[in-house]
Amino acid sequence: MVASNVPMARDQAVFAARSRLAGARRRFVGHDLPPLGSLIVRHQVTVPDGVEWPWARVSSWPHPALLRGRSLTDGTHPSLAHIRMGLPLRIHSDDLVDWAIIDARGEIVTGAWTRRLRAPAASPT
């Protein structure tokens, strides 16, 4: 991917994920996931000089604006000491940049548009 195309690819991936987010929530709340499958989300966290996009497994989504989950990754920036694998998180839907439904083997069934992108250096629009 050419460097000048990276922001455009990032923005397109985030747009694709966000435009389908209501459907992902509907499937999660309606228990319409593959047997032993999960919904995972990638959320944006601002750090000095940029953002990080850690993944989390959704455990509940009681309101469209807020979900609960467990971190699947550690935050790498020192200001993200609270984001550690396995720890609970409260995530605002506005901070979601991607999502994926995975099956019992951990294979992506749908989603994960940002998986081929490098870590973001700036906030998506």
Q: What is the pLDDT of residues 84-123, one digit of tens each?
A: 999 999 999 999 999 999 999 999 999 999 987 765 544 4
For residue 72, count other CB atoms closer than 10 A to its CB: 16
* pLDDT score of 82: 87
List phi, psi (to 5°) of 100: -155, 145
* pLDDT score of 31: 96
d(CA 106, CA 49): 33
Would you say residue 64 has pLDDT above 70?
yes
Would you say residue 42 has pLDDT above 50?
yes
Quote the crossing angle between the two packed helices 6-19 and 21-29, to the nearest 10°: 40
pTM of the predicted protein model: 0.85
CA-CA distances (angstroms) from residue 58 to 44, 71, 107? 15, 9, 16
